[in-house]
Every structure is written in C-alpha cells, then in structure tokens.
Amino acid sequence: MKDFVALYKQLDETNSSNEKINLLKNYFLTADKKDVLWCIALFTGKRFKKPVNTTQLKNWVAEKSNLPFWLVDECHHIAGDLGETIAHLASNNNNTINFNKPLHKVLEEIAQLNDKNEEEKKHFILNYWNELSKDEIFIFNKLISGSFRVGVSDKNIIKALALAFQIPEDEIAHQLMGNWNPFKISLNELLFSEIENFSKPYPFYLAYALENKLNELGNPHDWQAEYKWDGIRAQIIFRNNEFYIWSRGEELVTHQFPELKEITTIIPQGCVLDGEIIAYKSGEILSFQHIQKRLGRKNISKKTLEEVPVCFIAYDILEYENKDIRSFNLSERRKILETLISSIHSKITLSEKIDFTDWDELKAIQENSRIKNAEGLMLKHRNSAYQVGRKKGDWWKWKVNPYTIDAVLTYAMQGHGKRANLFTDYTFAVWHNDELVTFTKAYSGLSDDEIKEVDAFVRKNTIEKFGPVRSVKPELVFEIAFEGIAHSNRHKSGVALRFPRIARWRKDKPANEANCLEDLKKLIQ
C-alpha cells in the first residue's frame, strides 16, 4: 500500500509523460505481482461496487473529529474533494503505526464490506483511518468511495507494461481489453495467456481531427471518404455462437440493443465488425439525444424499442473466419465487408463510401453533411491497416464547424481537485420574454488567466449562495459552441445540447445583446 501511495504522489507531481512511464515501469518491476494487477485495474478505470456512500463517510469523520456534520459538509465544499477533506480531518499526526498491508489485501478487505452491516463497515473504516498516514487515508478514501482517478493515460500504462515485460504494445492493448476481473485472474494470465475469451474485443482505432490542408494529403483517389455519424462507436462480436456488443468505452452493452442480435443471421461465425450504432427510424438517422434513451438501462422496455429503433452502420471488419485481419489494408477489408453485407437489412448496413473526384468537390459535401444528420466526414487511406489507439496519418476526422450561440453567465460553481478554490463550472442562459432562461452548463474553453478573471467577477458579483453554487449578476457574455441540439422535456429551456463548451469570452458584447431562446430552437431545424 505504501509503495502504491508513493507512486500515486509521484505521478501526480509530474506532467512529463516519459517520467510517468518510467515511474510506472519501475513499480511494475518491483511491486508484488498482485499489487501490479490491481494497479493496472485501477489506473485503467475498472470500477467496482462501492461499499459505503458519501453521507456515511461524512457522518463517521464528523464523529471522529468531533465536528458537526454541517461543518464537515462545508469543508467538503471548500476543498472540493471528499477524500482530501477526510484525510485532513481524520488523520492522526502523531500516528507512529507502520502500516504494511499490501494493496491487494486492502482491496480484498474493502470488497468484503459489501456483505457487512453499517456498524461493521464503520468499525472497519475507523480502524483504517486510525492506522494510516494522511496520504494513505486520502488514497484509501478514494478506493472505498469509488472515486479513484489518476492523471495517467491508458497509452502510458501500455507503454510502461511493454517496457517492463518486453511485450509489444499492440499485444498489451489487446490483452487489457474487455471485462477482466482482478479478483479472478493473475497478472501472468492477464499479460501472457492466449486470448480465448470469446467476448474479447480489439482495441479501437481512433482518428485525429484533420490538421492538414486537403491538397497536402496527396491524390484524392488514395482516400476513402465516409460520413461521420453521431452515435455509439461499437464492436459487434460473433464467435462460438455467442454475440457481444462492446462500446468504445469498453462497456458491454449487448443488453441495451437486444434487436441487433438479428445481425447473426447475416454474418458468419468468427466475425468482429467495427461501426456505429445509430437511432434509425422510417429511413431517417436521428440525433444522438434519441439514442441516449437506450444507454445506462438494465432493461429496455418494448415502448423504448418501438420509439428508438437502432441500426448498426458497419465500416470495418477486424476478424473474419476467426482470423485477425487488422493488418490487411482498408481496401481488402472493405471487399470482405461488402461481400458479407451485400443486401439492405433493417438492423445492419454498410457505411456509405462517398464518390468524389477532387478535394473541392469533397469539401462541398463535407459542408452539407449536417443535412444527413452527420457530424462531418471520415477520411481513411485505402492502404491503411487497422491500428491501435489514436494515430496520425492514415485516418482523419473532418467535422463540420460547431453551432454557436451567445449566452449570459448566470451561475458558477467551484471546481474539484486542483481547482477547488476557483469557480470553474458555469451555467448559461439566453433571453426569453425579457427573462433569462438557463439552457446549458459548460466547464471548458477558458484559459487559466480567464478562469481567474471570471472567478474574481463571481466573488464580487454574487447575488445568492446555494452551497458551492453562486448566482451572479447577469453581465458576462460567452460564445457557447456545441455539436448538436434537440428538443428536451427534461430541461426548462426545452432544448438539450451535445458537447457544449466555451468558444470565447465576448467582452465586446453587453448582456442584452445575447441570443434568445428562439435563436436556439431555430438551430434544431
């Protein structure tokens, strides 16, 4: 546990990717193998059932520190992080206990809490708080509350593992895919065993946004252009009479799209397809807001199946006849795909290849792609293999310019972690009948200096306080950019935005010149 806490602190204190990779490699080579396995699981975002809730933790630390609950709650708002708050309040500065349990043992004991009653959970956690140092309490709190995060990318984890164990990065990436469980597998099995799990997906190939001028890409005939759809990126797996759907976020979502199992009547055994799940009704591709109704649900009702039917748009094939064909060039893979999906079917269709003769013609198609409810285009080199992760050169995403609207800042909330002392989370409104109606929140887009400037404004111009949230004088105007918009019954404004963010601070514009709600609703058309 001590080594893991030390690793976390060292990773948190550096922005250098090379240093992070080196720190990880050294830990992987020196730590207990069971601890290494759990480190990989935690750092790659594996989530486990948390045995206690936030209120219980606050009550117990209030009791331990002899503070009223409201004061603990206020400390949490100020610090912005519950794990850090408890670490300050619960730690015993005079603690001389040398805690030496390994990480995996701590996590195994935490998992057993799910079968305990509340009093037993409280006794267990208080004992840990009494034995641990402040830094160890901080990490322990993150583990028991299910909020563990660390600023290390999957790419860095893969590079470090490849260096430590002398395994190619592509193989490591594939081994880490899927729903493996550190309670049921060893480090050797995870990294070195043959992949026999029939549900296991391949690492997704991701594209960068187009950086070059089109003519710098060379001959347009060397490129395949397709529409970029706003749906759920997914892999469809059909092996050994078993059918699975994996999202790009490595979530098994088969049960959320049960009707797609019909695809097994079209494709043969031993196939893995890459594509997009989209909401599709009466021959029309619907917006992402429709398909959101299918996400995060354990059971999909008959009504939802009827209201939001889906279709899988296949644009690549990664496995055919139980053989990994990712090394084949795109043209070869496309021919196999076209052979498999040669007819129109309600649940699966081929991604359309766009015919164009020169870059100017393609640019005109890209600018009008929203007419088809597409986000833009994808450009893929015809000789490209299907690679691992985000790579430059062979695949590019070329999105249309986002929608924009000028809005007024009405509420601000304190951030988290390193920005807990700043107001960084904002709520925006537009005009409707001479009143401001809130319609979205945005958290990104401002520079550090601009955030400090807005923070100073919020503190000087607060109207009311609601815990960590403050309403402010409606004076600041910002241009909000977003990818899509749809009607919504869940929002007071009647609209919901897709990927809202701050495009720029409109210091040149007074609040009364911000857009109105009708301007927003016109964009839906």
Cα 171 to Cα 18, 89, 143, 186, 389: the distances in Å are: 21, 45, 29, 17, 12
Contact indicator for 229, 381 with CB cutoff of 8 Å: no
DSSP string, 440-505: EEE-----HHHHHHHHHHHHHSEEEEETTEEEE-TT-EEEEEESEEEE-SSSTTSEEEES-EEEEE
- 3-class SS at 512? helix
Distance, in Å, from the CA atom of 229 to the CA atom of 234, rounded to the nearest integer, reads 12
Angle at 396 between CA 392 and CA 400, to 5 degrees: 140
The distance from CA 242 to its chain's CA centroid, rounded to whole angstroms, is 27
The catalytically annotated residue of 228, 261, 298, 507 is 228
Contact indicator for 400, 376 with CB cutoff of 8 Å: yes
With residue 277 as reference, give the H or E element that holds it: strand 271-281
**Token pair listed for 166:** 């002398």
Using DSSP bridges, classify how beta strands 389-399 and 469-472 pair: parallel, antiparallel or unpaired. Answer: unpaired
Distance, in Å, from the CA atom of 522 to the CA atom of 525, rounded to the nearest integer, reads 6
**Token pair listed for 341:** 């999906």
**Token pair listed for 140:** 């322990």
Distance, in Å, from the CA atom of 497 to the CA atom of 247, rounded to the nearest integer, reads 22
Question: Does residue 228 have an active-site annotation?
Answer: yes
Distance, in Å, from the CA atom of 458 to the CA atom of 465, rounded to the nearest integer, reads 11
Residue with tokens 């946004």: 209
Query: Could you count the other beta carbons within 10 Å of the beta carbon of residue 282?
Result: 6
**Token pair listed for 339:** 């052979």
Query: Could you count the other beta carbons within 10 Å of the beta carbon of residue 427?
Result: 19
With residue 15 as reference, give the H or E element that holds it: none
Residues marked as catalytic: 228
